Structure 1
Amino acid sequence: MTKYFYIIILLFSLTNLWSNPKYEKIDKESKSVPDSLKTTEEIAKYLTSELKNDDEKIRALYIWITHNIKYDLDQINSEFQYGSYNEMVDETLKTRKGVCGHYAQLFHYMCKSIGIESFVISGYTRQLDSNKISELDHAWNGVKINDSYFFVDNTWAAGHLSYKGNYVHEFTDNYFLVNAKKFIKTHVPFDPVWQFLNNPISNVDYEKKDFSKLSKRGNFIFKDSISKMVQLDTITQIRKKIDRIIKSGITNVLIEKEIYEDEELIESLTYAKWISNYNSINDKINSANDEINMGISFENIFIGYMNKNFRNPKIEDSEIESTIDKANQHFYQGKNQLKKYKPSVYDLEYSGKNKKFIRLTKNYKETLVDFVIQLERTILKVEPSIIKDTDYSKRYLKKWKPLRDLVAY
C-alpha cells in the first residue's frame, strides 16, 4: 500500500484572518463551484479558466480547498489504507473532509490538472502556541512559479482548534505562497531538499532555534538537486533521502518514524520489484513449456499416424510433413527459449533485508528452478524421438509410394 503522512491539526492564529486585497475578486468567486462538478480536473478548470497568471490560479485552488474541505479530527492517528493517491483524493472530494495528507494531495492533483508544478512535502512543525515540536507529522505543498519556489499550507489555512479541542472551520490567510526563509520557522521538511533553501537549516539547528544560516548564502543548489532527484528510480530517491535526513540530524521521534517508514517502504518496493522480475521470467519459462508441450503434442500425432502406417484414414504427404515440421518448430522454439532465460532464473537474488521476503523469494526461486530442471529432463527424454521421427519422415516421403512400407524406422 501507498504510505501517507498524517499531521498536525492547526492552532488558532489571530493574524491575517481576512483575504489578501490583491486577490479579492478571485477569493470572492472561488469559494464555491456548481454541484455538478465532481472531479479535481473539472473543479480546477472551472476555477481557473478565466485566470492568466499562475499565482492567481493557485490562489483560486487554495481558496476553494480551504473553504470547502474540513479537517476531520476522527482521522487523527488513523491508519489509512488506500490503493492509490487517486482513491485518497476521490474520497476527500466525496466526503469534503480529511487530514493534512488529504489536503496536500487534493491541492497537488488540482495543480497538476492545470499544468502547475507542485509537490507534496512531509515534515514536522513547531506548535504555534509553544516551543514544542508537534507530536504529529504534517504534510503541505510546494509550488513552482516561473523559476521561484513557494509554500502553501491548505490545512493550516482552513481552520484551527478551539480551546475546547473542537475544530473551527475558519479561514486564515497566513499560508499562501510563503517564502522559504519564513516558512522554515514553523515547517521543517523531513528531507532538507524541500526547504527550498541554498543553506538548509539542519534538524539540530531547528531544535536550538538557530536560524543564523538564513542570513548566509550557502552552496546547496536545491533546484538542481530536485531536477536530478526526480530522474532517479523510486528506491534510489528514498535511499538518498534517508542519507540527507540522517546528515541533518535525528532530533525527534517523528524523524525516527519517517526513516523507519522509508526503510520499510524500500523493503516493500524491493520485494515488489523482485516479484515483478520473477513474474516476467516465470511467464517466459511457462511460455517455453507451452511451446515444448505443443511440440510434443504434434510429435504424438505423428507417432499415431506412423503406428497406423499413415492409413485408416489415409494421411496425405502434406499432412505428414506439416505435422513433423510443427513438432520441430514448437519443440525447439521452447527449448531455445528455455536456454535463453534459464540463466535469469538462477540469477534471481533478493537484495532486501526483510526475513519474510527473503524466505518467500527463496521458495519462489526454488520452485522455478525445479520446474526448469523438470523441463530439461523432458527435453532430454523427448528430443531423441523427434530427431529420429524427423529423419524417418524425410526418408519415408522421398521413397516411391509402393515401397514406403519397406522404409526402416
Structure 2
Amino acid sequence: MKWLFVLYLFMYAAPTANAQDIALRIPTAETYSSASIARYIQANFTTDRQKLHAIYSWVTANIRYSTDSMYNINWGPDPEIKVSAALRRKKGVCENFAAVFTGIALKCNIPSFVVSGFSTASKASHSWSAAYIDSTWFLCDPTWDIGYGNETKYFLIQPDEFIENHMPFDPLWQLLPYPITQHQFFRGHTNGKKDRQPWNVNDSVNSFLQLDSLHQLEASASRMKQAGLQNNAANIWQQFVNMKIAIVYGDKDMDLYNGAVADLNEANTIFNNFVQYRNNQFTPAKPDAAVAALLDPIPGLIAAANRKVSKIGEKVENVQYDTGSLKSRLKGLSAKVLAQQHFLKLYLESAAVSRQKLFYSTK
C-alpha cells in the first residue's frame, strides 16, 4: 500500500512541479511586460488553475522584495505603473507583487483583483490578490511566499482560512458570507456572526466588478465607513480612496467647465457671424427661411453650457473654476441674442421695400 501512496503523491505533485518548471523557462526578453508573460502562459498551460500556479511561481521566483521601498505608498491611480515598474526592476513591495500577479492573470482572462488591507503580522498596509476559478473566489499572497519554491502556503486559499491572518479594508474582499469586524479579527474570532442576512459572495463581487472605477471607489468607501475600521492603516487608506474619488470628480468638473466654455465659444462664433452678416445688410442674399435660422443653434448651446456649469462642484467643492464669470458671460450673450432675435422678427415680418431702413433704425 505504501507504493500506492507514494504514487498518488507523485501524480498529485507532478503537475504542480511541471507548471513551475515551465513558468521559470520564460525567455528573459519576454519578462518585461505582463502581456508577453501572459502570452507565454496562455501558450503553455491549459486550465486556469495551471495558469495561476505558473504565474504565481514566476512572480515569487523572479521578483525580489525591495526593502528600500517597503514604507513607500504608491499614490498613482494606474495599476499598470506598479506592474511595469516591478517587471523592469524585478523587485517591489507587496502592492507590486499583487499587481503583477493580478495583471498577468487578467490578461489570461482570469477574473482577479488587487486587495488592500492589513495582516496579523503588521498593522501597516498590505496587498494581496483575489482570483476566480472553478466558480469560486480564492485568495493569494505572493509576497508571503517569496523564496519558498513549491512549498507555497498562500496560493489559492479559501477565504475562511485566509481571514485568519489577512484583513481587507473593504469588507467585500473578505469574500465571506458573514464578514467579521476589525475587533473580531484582532481577537482571533474569525467566524462571522450569523445574526444577519448572509452575503451572496459571487453575486456581490460580480456586481462590484461590473461598476466603473469611480463607482467601485464610492462603493468601497461606503462599506469601509460602515465597517468602522479604526487603525492607522485603514484611516490612511480611506483618505487615499476619498482622494481618488475627489480626483475623478475634479477631472469631471474640468471636463464640464471646458465643455461649457466650448459651447459658449461656439455660440459666440455663430452670434458674431450673424452680427457681421447683419452689418453687411444680409448680403449676399439668402432665402428668408435660411436667415430666420441663423441664430437657432445659440439657445441650445447656451442651455447646454448652463447645464454643465450647474453640475460643477456637485460632488467636491469647486475652488478651481470661475463659474460665476462664465455664468455672467452666458447671461450676457443670451440678452444679446434676444435683441437680435427681435430684430430678425421685425425684419422678416416687414415688406421687402421696408426692410432696408431697419438696418439703420433698429439696434
TM-score of the superposed pair, with normalisation by structure 2: 0.82
> C-alpha distance in 1, partners of 2:68/2:228?
32
**1:100 and 1:297, CA in 2 relative to 1: closer, same or farther beyond 3 A?**
farther
Q: Which residue of 2 aligns with 1:401?
A: none
2:251 equivalent in structure 1: 272
User: How many Å apart are 1:61 and its aligned residue?
Assistant: 0.9
- Between the aligned partners of 2:280 and 2:26, the Cα distance in structure 1 is 70
Give the Å deviation of 1:327: 5.5
Q: Which deviations, in whole Å up to 9, do the C-alpha atoms of 1:229-253 show, x marking residues without a partner?
A: 2334544443443343344342421
8 Å CA contact retained: 1:47, 1:57: yes
| 2:183 matched residue in structure 1 | 204
Aligned residues: 347
> Whose RCO is larger (CA < 8 A, sep 6+)?
1
2:322 corresponding residue in structure 1: 364
Distance 1:172 1:137 in 2: 25
Aligned partner of 1:105 among 89, 99, 109: 99
Q: What's the counterpart of residue 377 of structure 1?
A: 335
CA distance in 1, matches of 2:330, 2:322: 13
SS at match of 1:185: coil
| Residues 1:347 and 2:310 aligned together | yes
1:138 alignment partner, one of 123, 126, 139: 126
Give the Cα separation in 2 of the matches to 1:24 and 1:118. Answer: 23
Query: Partner of 1:56 in structure 2?
Result: 50
Q: 1:110 deviation in Å?
A: 0.9
Change (3 A) 1:240 1:36: closer
SS of equivalent residue, structure 2 residue 27: coil
The superposition leaves residues 263-282 of structure 1 with CA deviations (integer Å, 9 ceiling, x where unpaired) of 33333333333333333333
SS of structure 2 residue aligned to 1:238: helix
**Which whole-Å CA distance do the structure 2 matches of 1:272 and 1:189 have between them?**
28
Task: Give the CA deviation at 1:196.
Answer: 1.6
Structure 2: give runs of 5+ residues left out of the alignment.
1-11
Residue 241 (structure 1) aligned with residue 220 (structure 2): yes
TM-score normalized by structure 1?
Answer: 0.74
Q: What do residues 299-351 of structure 1 show as CA deviations (whole Å, max 9, x unaligned)?
A: 33336x5xxxxxxxxxxxxx4226x876544422223432x326515633523
Aligned partner of 2:66 among 63, 69, 72: 72
Amino acid of the structure 2 residue aligned with 1:283: A
Q: Which runs of 5+ in 1 are unaligned?
A: 1-18, 128-133, 160-168, 306-318, 399-403
> In the TM superposition, what whole-angstrom CA distance separates every residue of 1:371-390 from its partner, at most 9, and x where no partner exists?
10221233244444445555
Matches within 5 A, 1:17-96: 21-37=14-30, 38-80=32-74, 82=76, 84-96=78-90
Residues 325-334 or 111-120, more deviating:
325-334
What is the one-letter code of the residue matched to 2:269? D
> Residues 182-197 of structure 1: matches in 2 within 5 Å?
182-197=161-176
- CA distance 1:28–1:236, shift in 2 (3 Å): closer
In structure 2, do the counterparts of structure 1 residues 289 and 122 end up closer, same or farther at CA, with 3 Å as the change threshold? same
The whole-number CA distance in structure 2 between the counterparts of 1:55 and 1:333 is 59
Q: How far apart are residue 226 of structure 1 and its match?
A: 1.2
Larger radius of gyration: 1
Q: Which of 148, 152, 158 is 1:173 aligned to?
A: 152
Between the aligned residues of both structures, percent identity stands at 21
- The 3 A distance-change label for structure 1 pair 227 and 181 is same
SS in 1 for 2:314: coil
